Amino acid sequence: MAEQTVIDDRYELESMPIGEGGMGEVYRAHDRRLDRKVAVKLIRFPFGQHDETLVKRFLHESRIMARLEHPGAPAIHDVGVFDDPRVGSRPFMVMQFVEGISLDYIIDEHEDIPVSWVASAAAQVAAVLAAAHKRGIFHRDLKPSNLMLCHDGTIKVLDFGLAMFHDPDVSRLTRTGTLLGTPSYMSPEQVQGATLGPQSDLYTLGLVMHELLTGQRLFDGRTEYEVFHRQVNEPAPSVRTTRPEVPEEIDRLVLRLLEKHPADRPADAVEVCRALLPFTQGAGFLPGTVAEGSNPIHLYSAVVGSMTDTVGPTIPRKTRGGPVDLDQVRQVAVAFAHEARYNQAATLLEAVLSAVVPALAPDDPQVLTLRGELAEVLFKDSDYRKAAPIFAELHQVLAHHRGPDDEQVLHYRHREATCHALMGQTTEALRLLRALLADQQASYGPYDQRTLNLRRQIGLMELGAGDTGGARRTLLELLDDLEQHYGPDHPDTVKVRESLQRISG
């Protein structure tokens, strides 16, 4: 930027970016209104073309990420769209400015980093991932340059840029048609364009841990293709071959994180964090990386760390009576949802349901309608853990009254399965989707768009679960049907053909 750019008459961007990636650039900026330093990320559109759908998705995902509120992730202050004189309308995000040293610099400057320090850093990252995954947010671009060692000795996870875009067809591509993400830090399923779950982030955490412990990037090569081939096919070597003093438990954990099949990795980030905690004892600070003197953050952490997971006594809540106007509540909730204020809509619907359910039967039409709207709002808000059981109960009740082939029943069944998929529960999701496919084909026919989309979803999930053979069979059969029904140049046909080409390498 030759001239200073000011966004919303508030954020003054410095002339040169301090970081660049597949999804855009990050600038140091000054917030005029609050007189503070901030970081501003400008999002780059895939293929360099404005896409209003992506703008809406970006704004929605930003709201979800803004509620992450974890000390190990930068706070999000603002989000919007501004007119960039170079490329036109462009989304932006304003974040907390994090000062420190990225871990790629630590790897370059320090030899034989203490195991306890590596365990501490990785445990902090795992704690952030656990919080993110709970909200359905997968980082998908974890690497040393996105992990910042702050001056207080804590680690912050930066740049959830690829987490903004859940669609693999979008998140894989840049305007030049190349893959987004960094090849040396991509999971096998990400390389192959499969459906991703939390285990994909755990794989990349394993890559980072291996590099911190050995000082060498694990999978590198002269070309992207060579790196991709190694990620998919080459087993990870033991850390102890390079550093014999690394405890066997740490070595086994790293190798589990680096398993090629997601199902063979740890179940979740919480398990990883707990496995690392015993090895963080006595972890000191690396020389020259932490400001001297008593740090309030350390005092605060010591207090929190002394607390237990024990839940205190239940305190009864005050109850408030009075009639509830269900139609008015629904109208307000729908208005909130229309403005993508899903959290407010869910809070309102949950409150009214808790008030009316005791007085009405569980299968009362009003209750079913409210619960259906609540489940949809929770789904759009990425709260899949709450949404899944509601969808499950709804389709069971409705099937009893309307029959199993009712369109709403099939829709809720698909929603339930998708919730499990987005929580990383691939086995359960595939079981539900395969059962749904048989009923959906009987109801809609084999060439209905919903049926074809479901078949592709199953194929990509099989690939994400490490079932390459099953995915290839599913997608080959789908490709044959698409070519016969729609022709070889139809967009859906092209997508499936590209997925098969990625599987074949």
DSSP letters, 121-152, are: HHHHHHHHHHHHHHTT-------GGGEEEETT
Of 3.40.50.300, 3.40.190.10, 1.10.630.10, 1.10.510.10, the CATH number of 100-293 is 1.10.510.10
Whole-number Å distance between alpha carbons of 149 and 108: 14
User: Hey, which residues are catalytic here?
Assistant: 141
359 or 339, higher pLDDT: 339
pLDDT in the model for residue 176: 36
pLDDT value at position 22? 59
Name the least confident of 55-59, 233-237, 279-283.
55-59
| Other C-beta atoms lying within 10 Å of the C-beta of residue 52 | 9
Q: How many CA atoms lie within 13 A of 313 on its CB side?
A: 2
pLDDT for 25 equals 82
Could you give the CA distance from residue 456 to residue 461 in angstroms, rounded to a whole number? 9
Q: How is residue 144 written in tokens?
A: 């040393």
- Asked whether the beta carbons of 432 and 394 are under 8 A apart, the reply is no
> Mean pLDDT score of the chain, rounded to an integer?
83
The stretch 285-302 carries a mean pLDDT of 65
Task: Using a pLDDT cut of 90, give the percent of the chain over it.
Answer: 37
What's the CA gap between 34 and 476, in Å, rounded?
Answer: 57
Specify whether domain 5-96 bears CATH 3.30.200.20: yes
- Domain parsing of the chain, residue ranges: 5-96, 100-293, 327-504
Q: What is the pLDDT of residue 475?
A: 92
Residues pairing with 79 in the sheet: 93
For residues 221-249, average pLDDT: 91
Question: What pLDDT score was predicted for residue 407?
Answer: 92
Assess contact for 387 and 371: CB atoms under 8 A. Answer: no
* pLDDT at site 291: 61
Instruction: Tell me how far apart the alpha carbons of residues 215 and 43 are, in angstroms, rounded to a whole number.
Output: 32
37 annotated binding-site participant: no
**What pLDDT does 82 receive?**
86
Measure the CA–CA gap between 304 and 300, rounded to whole angstroms. Answer: 6
**11-13/24-31 β-pairing:** antiparallel
**Closest of 314, 318, 309 to residue 270, by C-alpha:** 309
Contact present, 199 and 476 (Cβ < 8 Å): no
Please tell me the CATH superfamily of domain 327-504, with its number: Tetratricopeptide repeat domain (1.25.40.10)
Please state the rounded mean pLDDT for residues 116-138: 91
Distance CA 9, CA 33 (A): 9
327-504 shares the fold of 5-96: no
Supply the pLDDT for residue 109.
86
